[in-house]
Structures are given as C-alpha cells and as structure tokens.
Structure 1
Amino acid sequence: MNKKIQHSGIIDLVDSKHVVVRVTQMSACASCQIAGHCRSSESRDKLIEVYMDDTNTFHVGDPVRVIIDAKVGYRALALGMAFPLVLLISVMVLVLMLGGTEGMAALSGLASLIPYYYMLFLMRKKIQRSVSFLVEKASF
C-alpha cells in the first residue's frame, strides 16, 4: 500500500536542473462566500523546488501536480519536527534531573537544537536526495 501526497500547482520557474512550483494552500473556509469579510480565512502560496534531470518538457505557467510518497513525507516531518522535539524535551528533563533550574533547562533545550539544525544544514544535499518530489503535467 503505497500512499501518495499530491498538490496541484503552477510552474513558476524552470531551470536546467530544477523546477519551482507554486502551490496555493487554502484553509477550509477560504472557499466560503463571505471569506473576504472574515479574518480567519487565509490562503498561502508555497514554493516547492523539484530537482530533476530533464526539465525540457516543463514551461513557466504549466499546470502540474507535485507528488511525494507518504513515507518520504513522514521522514521529512520526523527530521524537521519530531526528532528536534524529542531532543528538546530530553535535554530539558536531563538538566532538571541534574538539579538545574527551569530557566537553565529551557535554555539548554533550545541550545541543543542549534547543533541539530546545523547538522541538518550540513547534510542537506544527502537529505535532498532522499526527500524528493515528482512533478507531472496536469490539466485543470
């Protein structure tokens, strides 16, 4: 059972090595008729860079679908949010168990995220290869 996550978008930029797709995410009430008068409705544009070998078939303005395997999406979510949360809480609990104050625990927890995200930054090329998107032409 191989689940896929798909988003529709428009190509914003085509380069020799990658394609940039603009995906508009809307909140559930953004399509409401009175959404223009309500502060809770919102829509945001996300730019997704998709690296590929052959970009010749894509042109700026083409409607496309950006597809990612759900497993890959979960891996990216774990790297970006779950592991840092576990690290933060673990360091805070450790500092408190060693007799530190709550302020020290909070600062130590936040400080522990600096090397983690720096390590992710250094490994971005390797992560980029394992967390990849697929683009296919779509018709709206």
Structure 2
Amino acid sequence: MSGEISHTGIVKKLSENKIIVGIVNESACASCHAKGSCTAADMKDKEVEINQFNGEYHLGQRVTVIGKTSQGFKALFLGYLLPFIILLTILIITTSLRIPEGTGGLLALASLIPYYFVLYLVRNRIKRSFEFEIKPLE
C-alpha cells in the first residue's frame, strides 16, 4: 500500500490561492463494459478544494488529486465509526437502565443530533485538516 489515494479530475475553478477540482466517483459497474445498464445514480460529482499547489493550471485541465490514506480513515471515523459508537453506547446504557427498547432506540438516534450539529459547527476546522495535492495528468 502506497499510503495515497488518487483520483482523476478536471479543474473547475481557479483563483490565486485555491483550485477547485471536480471528481466523478463511479461505482464499479459504471466503469465496466456493462455501464449502459447502470443508472446515473451510480456516478457522483464531488468537488475538492486545493489550497497549496505548485505550477500553473487552467480551466478544464485534467489533473490527479492525491490525498493521504490516513485522511480517508479520519473521514471514515468522523462520519461513520464515531456516530456508531455513540449510538451503541446509548443503546447499552438505556438497556441497562431498563428503559423500554423503543424509547432507548429513539434516544440513541436523538443522541446523534448533537453530534452532527457539533460536526457541522467545526466543519471549517475539519476541512483545514484535510490537505490534497494536485498534479497535472500525464
């Protein structure tokens, strides 16, 4: 494993201090020979903001966006694993307190509201911790 994740994209917006690159995420079937049977829902457009770059780029240029694997794990942890741990913890606590299952389940789901609200409030700080490199496609 190289420790990097790379995606091909197209430069969508340029300014002096940042570049926005559009990346199309395709499901496995969308890039195979049977892609005619796949739906448009299998493809998702994402935008990546690159703040530090060397060289000159122009609109429409095909580039490679590179991120560290550790950033992927961090995103996975914040988006999926930590909320799951919170949900499971609340379910265990409510079960041990003999709170009815339905109420415990609703409390566990409701406990995610403050988590995602706090995540929303600190989104800019989190965004700064994700850094990507950009290279022209060869």
**Which TM-score applies when normalising by structure 2?**
0.84
- Aligned equivalents of 1:55 and 1:15: distance in 2? 13
* Per-residue deviation, residues 76-125 of structure 1 (Å, max 9, x unmatched): 11011110110011111211211111221121111111111122222222
- Aligned equivalents of 2:29 and 2:120: distance in 1? 36
The aligned residue for residue 22 of structure 1 is 22
- Report the alpha carbon displacement of residue 45 of structure 1 after superposing the two structures with TM: 2.0
1:68 to 1:98, Cα distance in 2 relative to 1, 3 A: same
1:71 to 1:31, Cα distance in 2 relative to 1, 3 A: closer
Give aligned-pair identity as a percent: 35
Using the TM superposition, name which of 103-112 and 9-18 deviates more.
9-18
**Which TM-score applies when normalising by structure 1?**
0.83
The SS at the match of 1:30 is: helix
Structure 2: runs of 5 or more not aligned: none
User: Which has a greater percent of helix?
Assistant: 2
- Report the alpha carbon displacement of residue 25 of structure 1 after superposing the two structures with TM: 1.9
Structure 1: runs of 5 or more not aligned: none
- Aligned equivalents of 1:38 and 1:5: distance in 2? 25
- Report the alpha carbon displacement of residue 14 of structure 1 after superposing the two structures with TM: 1.7
Q: Does the 8 Å CA contact 1:88/1:112 hold for their aligned counterparts? A: yes
The aligned residue for residue 79 of structure 1 is 78
The residue type paired with residue 48 of structure 1 is V
